[in-house]
Structure 1
Amino acid sequence: MRKSDLHPSLRDSAVPVPGHSGCYAVVPPPVPTTLPVSPPLLPLAQREVQILSDAVEAAPDYAHLLMHMLNRREAVDSSQIEGTHTQFDELLLHEIEKGTPDAVSDSDAEQTLNYVRAYTLGVAQVRKHGQRALDGALICEMHRHLMSGNPRASPGQLRGVQNFIGGLKMEQARFIPPPPEEVPRLMTDLDRLIRHQPDPESHYDVSVLPRAAIVHAQFETIHPFVDGNGRIGRLLFPLMLLADGGHPIHLATFLKCRQREYYDALLDVQMKLHWSPWVDLFLECAIASCRHTVHLLRELRSVAERWQERLKTRGTRKHATVWSVVHLLLGQPVVTVSSLVERLNVTFPSANAAVATLVDLDILRPQGQQRRNRAFHAHEIMNLLYTGIDAVLDDVATLRNYRTGSWM
């Protein structure tokens, strides 16, 4: 990172990094609180958010099951952006075996599960306290959960050291965030936008979608923690939507598909104060996520109906355990017989017989060759979660050809 590459106003505020000749930490300006011009994609994104909301309200049971899976898909993909390797099925298996005699030590999967814990904490607080819950204290508490077991990351504490983004050393960095002594002030400024209250006398307002995009870019610029900044920043997306009275939108999967563009767009904000590429990318991913989630809701119902028909055709008793297992699989597509015993409060023979029936109907497939506590996958559900993501992103990206103008 060269000082000459910075926006002129950032050059003036850049601070030399002690002990690193030629390195400058960037102190960003306050976040914007009004937008003079709306991004061209904003009306379409707002419409897609409403369509998603209507779909969720129309099928709350299926939506609950789907959101359970999407939260974990989000944890997997957001963590993979930062270099972890745990896959979706591995996370589900790690979660159901956690605390049991069958649990296997897996630090990578545990990191990913920590993401779920941090998000669950945030959701609970937002549902309890609304928008005012999203303050610095909650962000630090989520960070404490996220980085649990990693003392070098100073879980739950704002950083007291200079960090950098990209490269193996400061001199090779793509970007150097502000000095640690600036972090508390900058986070206080950001807090005002996270918990933004509309000004009734203003002609302009920052609706939650562009506001969430701005918050993420500023959060990544501040880089307030030693580690875990990207994951906490992405956790704020669905929480801000929830705090605004909407339904969570999961973006990490879509940002991961366009990871290079994601990094470059954020750097454009950080270095040039050029917001358009990032906000456009954010809105494209929001549109794609909404459309894909609505599609998943329809498909989840369709899968459920097919499974029920197979059980009816087989003449399965109405109150047999297998019906409960089928319903569970719609939100938990990886199971073991032991996990079904605990989750459904049934006997081992009953759970084992249900699994055998579902394997025979090709609703479940065994994973691996081990005989004891073998995992079983509901392959139709697993395939659904990642099918069509690139296609919906490509479809939304074609909207670029019809956009005119820019903002900020």
Structure 2
Amino acid sequence: MKKERAGKSVKQLSGKLAYYSFHPSKLPPIPEIEIDSELTEKLIKAYRVLAILDDRAMHIPNIDLFISMYVQKEALLSSQIEGTQATLEDIFNPNISENINLDVDDVINYIKATKYAIQRLDTLPLCSRLLLETHEVLLSGVRGREKNPGEFRKSQNWIGGAGSTIKTARYIPPDVIYMQEALSDLEKYINTDGGLDDLIKIALIHYQFETIHPFLDGNGRVGRLLIVLYLLEKKVIKTPSLYLSFYLKENRIEYYDRMTAVRESGDYEQWVKFFIEGIYVSGQSAIETADELIALRNSNLERLEAENYTKRTHETMIKVFGYLEAHPIIEIGKTAKDLSLSYNTVASAVSRFEALGTLSLVNKQDRNKVYSYNDYISILRSGTELVAQ
């Protein structure tokens, strides 16, 4: 395998200031991707699980709600890969707008950027303009806002640990001029039909985007969002319910090492196999999550039906339950306002949900009591737990 199949290192500056940046080759790779029996089997498994996931989505009573919850989990996981210290409970906090927390703000912006990008696909193809607009939403008003939100970089960047310099960097992306050329080539490749299978193609596109590293900040998050945007545009998936960040977070070191191996040896095949295994694992996880949420919903509705409530009380309970599925941590006053119900009406419904075991009290601050729908959060929490540093 030719060492320069994936690109080459190019000397920048001279003397003591000299360094080498990496100039990636155009896609698709030459020689072309070898599709052996192992890769074929991984593709078959991945497509099978995606078909099941799409079928499951058709049977979820409120698919938009499920997707919204999943987007929030994905935003958290993708941000955690970048070192953000936030939890699922932080994201669901009913008083989130009053709490100044930069980590949580990063995740909230990622949620906004994801929803924006998915909606924008209705009016714009997957292109540099869409990525720039998404990047602007991602970084506006949070950490990184000084890193030119909505603009490709105009200076050299590099990847390394905290305090690293261009001399100690783990990886140095292409210089600005070559970056612009590489981005143009990538945009054409994204929008060229035919050739490789779409799952292989998005594996290559994600790798190429991360290798080009076109932003001063937010490359990882935009690059992971690019995966679902591509699969949606190519109609590989029907709903945005497949996200790879859980898999990539669990295999973070391998994730970076396998991309590095492409640059160093031109071995795209090992990266593609790793990535498509991630599609399969992530699809399986999404199916299991959907099944658990459907089962939990049905169980709770059956318990509500079994109670001997008056018609009016039953209607209120159903209304509050619907709110819980969108806001699994609630504060009575805010819930009452959002549902246009009286404080006492919501308080009574919450007490009944407590008695049923659906809600648990989180704090006891008089009229600002906060309650948690623990079973629901428990299903979504998997993989989002913070590991002690």
- 1:288-341 CA-to-partner distances (Å, cap 9, x unmatched) read 121122222222121112212222333233443221222232343222223322
Separation (CA, whole Å) in 2 of partners of 1:316 and 1:270: 65
Separation (CA, whole Å) in 2 of partners of 1:206 and 1:236: 18
Q: CA deviation at 1:111?
A: 0.9
The answer as to 2:162 corresponding to 1:162 is no
The answer as to 2:250 corresponding to 1:260 is no
Gaps of 5+ in 1: 1-5, 199-204, 391-408
Q: Are the equivalent residues in 2 in contact too, given 1:292–1:388 (CA < 8 A)?
A: no
**Alignment match of 1:124 (pick from 104, 119, 122):** 119
Q: Are the equivalent residues in 2 in contact too, given 1:79–1:231 (CA < 8 A)?
A: yes
- 1:362-401 CA-to-partner distances (Å, cap 9, x unmatched) read 10112234334333221111111244999xxxxxxxxxxx
1:2-401 aligned within 5 A:
7-8=3-4, 14-17=10-13, 21=17, 23-32=19-28, 35=33, 37=35, 39-40=39-40, 41-59=42-60, 61-93=61-93, 96-97=94-95, 99=97, 103-126=98-121, 128-129=122-123, 132-149=124-141, 150-167=144-161, 168-198=164-194, 205-245=195-235, 246=237, 247-248=239-240, 249-318=242-311, 319-387=314-382
Partner of 1:396: none
Q: CA deviation at 1:256?
A: 0.5
- 1:22-63 CA-to-partner distances (Å, cap 9, x unmatched) read 52001101121764526231121111111111111233x243
Q: Secondary structure at the match of 1:311?
A: helix
Separation (CA, whole Å) in 1 of partners of 2:384 and 2:273: 18
Separation (CA, whole Å) in 2 of partners of 1:233 and 1:12: 22
Q: Secondary structure at the match of 1:341?
A: helix
Gaps of 5+ in 2: none
Q: Kindly report the root-mean-square deviation, in angstroms, between the aligned alpha carbons of the 2 structures.
A: 2.4
- Could you state the TM-score of these two structures normalised by the residue count of structure 2? 0.88
Q: Are the equivalent residues in 1 in contact too, given 2:361–2:371 (CA < 8 A)?
A: yes
Count of residues in correspondence between the two structures: 370
- Could you state the TM-score of these two structures normalised by the residue count of structure 1? 0.84
Separation (CA, whole Å) in 2 of partners of 1:228 and 1:18: 30
Q: Secondary structure at the match of 1:335?
A: strand
Q: Are the equivalent residues in 2 in contact too, given 1:69–1:332 (CA < 8 A)?
A: no
Separation (CA, whole Å) in 2 of partners of 1:133 and 1:342: 39
Letter in 1 for 2:24: P
Partner of 1:398: none
Letter in 2 for 1:260: I
Deviates more, 1:368-377 or 1:104-113: 368-377
Calculate percent identity across the aligned residue pairs.
Answer: 29
Q: CA deviation at 1:236?
A: 0.8
Separation (CA, whole Å) in 1 of partners of 2:375 and 2:286: 16
Q: Are the equivalent residues in 2 in contact too, given 1:17–1:25 (CA < 8 A)?
A: no
Q: Are the equivalent residues in 2 in contact too, given 1:75–1:116 (CA < 8 A)?
A: yes
Letter in 1 for 2:208: Q
Separation (CA, whole Å) in 1 of partners of 2:151 and 2:73: 27
Q: Are the equivalent residues in 2 in contact too, given 1:193–1:211 (CA < 8 A)?
A: no
Letter in 2 for 1:112: V
